[in-house]
Amino acid sequence: MNRLAIAICAALFASAAIPTAAEPVAPVFWDVKERLPKPDLSGVTRVRFLTTTDFPPFNYLDRDGRLSGFHVDLVRAICAELGIADKCQIQAMPWEQIEDALARGRGEAIIAGVAITAESRAQFAFSRPYLQFPARFMMQKTRATSEPIFRKIEGERIGVIAGSGHETMLRDYFPGVKVVTYSRQEWMYGDLKAGKIAGAFGDGMRFAFWLAGSDASGCCRFAGGPYLAPEYLGLGLAIATNAGDPTLAAAFDYALQQIALKGRFAELYLRYFPVSFY
Same domain, 226 and 143: yes
| Cβ contact 123:243 at 8 Å | yes
Regarding whether 250 and 215 lie in a shared domain, the answer is no
Query: What percentage of the chain exceeds 70 in pLDDT?
Result: 91
Please tell me whether residues 152 and 226 are part of one structural domain. yes
What pLDDT, on a 0 to 100 scale, did the predictor assign at position 22? 44
Mark whether 59 and 121 lie in a shared domain: yes
Q: Give me the chain's average pLDDT, please.
A: 90
Task: Please tell me the chain's helix, strand, coil percentages from 3-state DSSP, rounded to the nearest 5.
Answer: 35, 20, 45
The percent of residues in the chain predicted with pLDDT above 90, rounded, is: 81
Asked if 243 and 221 sit in the same domain, the reply is no
Answer whether residue 187 is part of any domain.
Answer: yes
pLDDT in tens, 107-121: 999 999 899 999 999
Question: 83 with 159, same domain?
Answer: no
pLDDT at residue 140 is higher than 80:
yes
Looking at the structure of the chain, the number of domains it has is 2
More confident residue, 7 or 162: 162
List, edge to edge, every strand of the sheet that includes 109-110: 88-92, 47-51, 109-110, 240-242, 124-126
Nearest to 192 by CA among 147, 161, 169, 164: 161
State whether 62 and 182 are in the same domain.
Answer: no
pLDDT tens digit string along 152-194? 999 999 999 999 999 999 999 999 999 999 999 999 999 999 9
49 in a domain, yes or no? yes
Give the model's pLDDT for residue 17. Answer: 42
Angle at 253 between CA 60 and CA 42, to 5 degrees: 95
Position 16 pLDDT exceeds 60:
no
> pTM value?
0.86
pLDDT band at 18 (very low <50, low <70, confident <90, very high): very low
Does the residue 104 lie in any domain? yes
Confirm whether 244 is domain-assigned: yes
Give every strand in the sheet of 59-61, ordered side by side.
54-55, 59-61, 67-68
pLDDT digits (tens, 9 = 90+) for 246-270: 899 999 999 999 999 999 999 999 9
Q: Looking at the domain assignment, is residue 21 inside a domain?
A: no
Sequence-ordered list of residues with C-beta below 8 angstroms from that of 259, at least 6 positions apart, any chain: 74, 77, 78, 81, 265
Spatial separation of the C-alpha atoms in residues 110 and 47, rounded to whole Å: 10
- Section 200-225 average pLDDT: 95
- Going by C-alpha positions, the residue among 31, 50, 42 that lies closest to residue 239 is 50
What SS3 string covers 237-253?
A: ECCEEECCCHHHHHHHH
* The amino acid at 136: R
Q: Are residues 123 and 259 in the same domain?
A: yes
- Burial of 94 (C-beta count, 10 Å sphere; 0-12/13-18/19+): exposed
pLDDT band at 5 (very low <50, low <70, confident <90, very high): very low
Statement to judge: residues 98 and 187 lie in one domain:
no
pLDDT of 24: 63
Instruction: Name the helix (H) or strand (E) containing 223.
Output: strand 220-227
pLDDT at res. 14: 46
Using 50, 70 and 90 to split pLDDT, how confident is the model at 12?
Answer: very low
**16 falls within a domain:** no
**Does pLDDT of 30 surpass 50?**
yes
> What are the CB-based long-range contacts (under 8 Å, 24+) for 58-65?
58/112, 58/113, 58/272, 59/92, 59/111, 59/112, 61/92
Residue 266's domain comprises 31-131+236-272
- Integer Cα distance of 151 and 153 in angstroms: 6
Indicate if 72 and 117 belong to the same structural domain.
Answer: yes
Question: In this structure, are 245 and 229 located in the same domain?
Answer: no
Q: Which string of DSSP letters, residue by residue, matches 106-134? A: S-SEE-S-----HHHHTTEEEPPPSB---
State the amino acid at position 152 in one-letter form.
Answer: K
Give the CATH number, domain containing residue 116. Answer: 3.40.190.10
Report if residue 75 sits inside a domain. Answer: yes
The predicted pLDDT at position 1 comes to 43
Asked whether residue 203 falls in the same domain as residue 249, the answer is no
Report if residue 277 sits inside a domain.
Answer: no
Residue 38, pLDDT above cutoff 80: yes
Q: Is the pLDDT of residue 13 over 60?
A: no
